[in-house]
Structure 1
């Protein structure tokens, strides 16, 4: 696994894609000379994520009265490091990434994504194999190859490994593909015996027609995982943090539904308040697996 420290140099070239959204006014009670930097981890192709998050960022800028700069970072670890080094004021983390962001960067959860009834949404990790594979259950993966997403992903790394550990499946060749779509493609192209495909990636692939479920089957599924939190850096002024939460909670469904589509939020709804307890299951998972900073 990559050491957490090696991304320091990469963070100097932080963004894969970025944009700045101007608000009606800047400065005043806005930190960082009026520019609020909003980081997003690349859980999908950044070029696909950017337009959806630009809609959210523009609406947030209007509510905050601050300039909002969108940054799609290199990876999970780079985003944690960027917040720790005061390079981000706001960031959306994957649930497991948030565990380490809270511990190492003081990230505080503000909101997450709800469905049309206002209920916090969740997703599941899964392991899939070709339909004609002899693998029928997770125990049958012994001696097989398994494509995972990227180091530090809850559904694409930690939870599948936890599933293997729970079922005492040790001799599996793990292949980190670099992302959820890439792991799925490894399976489609026959490069591995099995692959993690979480419910969010599956929903996106269904919509795009890029995954034919009739050719594959799921042999393992995790318990539900609460959806990604949008967080704020903990050392910011309390009044500003309150302002961020209020602004996020006041966003219209139309402001967040394009992002929600990537997170399998159906039907789309507003953002809802979350706190540290919401993600207790992920803190417990990190403890059970003995995950440390360098594992993300």
Structure 2
């Protein structure tokens, strides 16, 4: 499959915004609000709408995200409505149209959320040293493959995760260009997700596949991936982990309350969703801002990906 234009990222998502939440993802709420909640600085609308990009199987992601959402709601004394969005493009549109108050994005998704919706990054997943955690993109091949580098992918098939993914699309595409190849030199197939990309390689339906360090850790732990049978031929520089953002046009007092609360949640309240991002041991969230993700803004510029492409 040829690389699809980024303009397709938001195609078909307008219909998703007709839903009460954002997209067709699952949602849940904590306890009901009171009239006093609706008037408080920490609960201006009687509830907080929290969107999370579906970077993992919703069956695993929803309960993990709910622990974080419920803890946030308890501290702010405001019910949090959690929605696992259909994709990041639906999440960007929902934030832009005021249907979400806070949202967790992949790093590249945040770039477009900042450009389109004024999203402000306030917190991300910390490591054991108190710094923002990170992960890497990777391209893997079978252990006996003749492919030794990205340049050797010419004429080969490569499974990528999904259009717009940081580690599963943009960074591998840049690696292809950096290796001196043209995009059409590699037969790219979008598998539909990180797990699906890994599965395509494991089943032998492609010559190579993107497997990021998070998916590798998860699949190895569940014994669905044996690293000894495969070989990594490329890895990206470290990517700062997913930011939790607030909508830029919200009341400053509310944004500050959300940020302060997130940064003071105990490790066990963020550890379950953090584990899905390969953040172990569990640690508190740490403060981040736009500058933390500057390499991703630079990546979008290098690949000529801007909000005008959406």
Structures share fold, TM-score greater than 0.5: yes
Matched, 1:101 2:140: no
Counterpart pick for 2:248 among 221, 234, 242 = 234
SS of 1:243's equivalent in the other structure is helix
- The alignment partner of 1:135 has SS state of coil
Q: Which residue of 1 aligns with 2:138?
A: 126
2:237 to 214, 219, 223: 223
- Structure 1 counterpart of 2:29: 20
Distance in 1 (alpha carbons) for counterparts of 2:169 and 2:309: 10
The alpha-carbon deviation at position 11 of structure 1 amounts to 3.2
Distance in 2 separating the partners of 1:270 and 1:169: 42
Residue 34 of structure 1 pairs with residue 54 of structure 2: no
Matches within 5 A, 1:181-200: 181-200=195-214
Aligned twin of 1:150: 162
The range that moved more, 12-21 or 42-51, is: 12-21
Corresponding position of 2:92:
80
Q: CA RMSD in A?
A: 1.5
Q: Tell me, in whole angstroms, the C-alpha distance in 2 between the residues paired with 1:273 and 1:195.
A: 33
Question: Does residue 222 of structure 2 align to residue 245 of structure 1?
Answer: no
Contact 2:43/2:77 (CA < 8 Å) preserved in 1? no
Give the 3 Å change call, closer, same or farther, for CA 59–294 of structure 1 in structure 2: same
TM-score by length of 1: 0.96
In the alignment, which residue of structure 1 is the partner of 2:15?
A: 9
Q: Which blocks of at least 5 consecutive residues in structure 1 are unaligned?
A: none
Show structure 2 runs of 5+ residues with no match.
none
| 3-state secondary structure, aligned to 2:280 | coil
Q: Is the 8 A contact 2:201 2:209 kept in 1?
A: yes
Cα offset, 1:190, TM superposition: 1.1
Give, in angstroms, the shift of residue 116 of structure 1.
2.1
* Number of residue pairs the alignment of both structures matches: 296
Q: CA deviation at 1:15?
A: 3.5
Alignment correspondent of 2:69: 57
Q: Is the 8 A contact 1:151 1:295 kept in 2?
A: no
Superposition misfits of 4+ residues, deviation over 6 angstroms: none
Q: d(CA) in 2 for partners of 1:143 and 1:31?
A: 55
1:167 alignment counterpart: 179
SS at match of 1:21: coil
Separation in structure 1 between the aligned mates of residue 191 and residue 44 of structure 2, nearest angstrom: 36
| TM-score, structure 2 as length reference | 0.92
- Flag the structure with higher strand content: 1
SS in 2 for 1:268: coil
Secondary structure (helix, strand or coil) at the match of 1:16 reads coil
1:90 to 85, 102, 105: 102
Residues 1:15 and 1:65: Cα distance change in structure 2 (over 3 Å): farther
CA spacing shift, 1:31–1:5, aligned 2, 3 Å: farther
What is the rounded CA distance, in whole Å, between the counterparts of 2:104 and 2:198 in structure 1? Answer: 23
Distance 1:28 1:223 in 2: 46
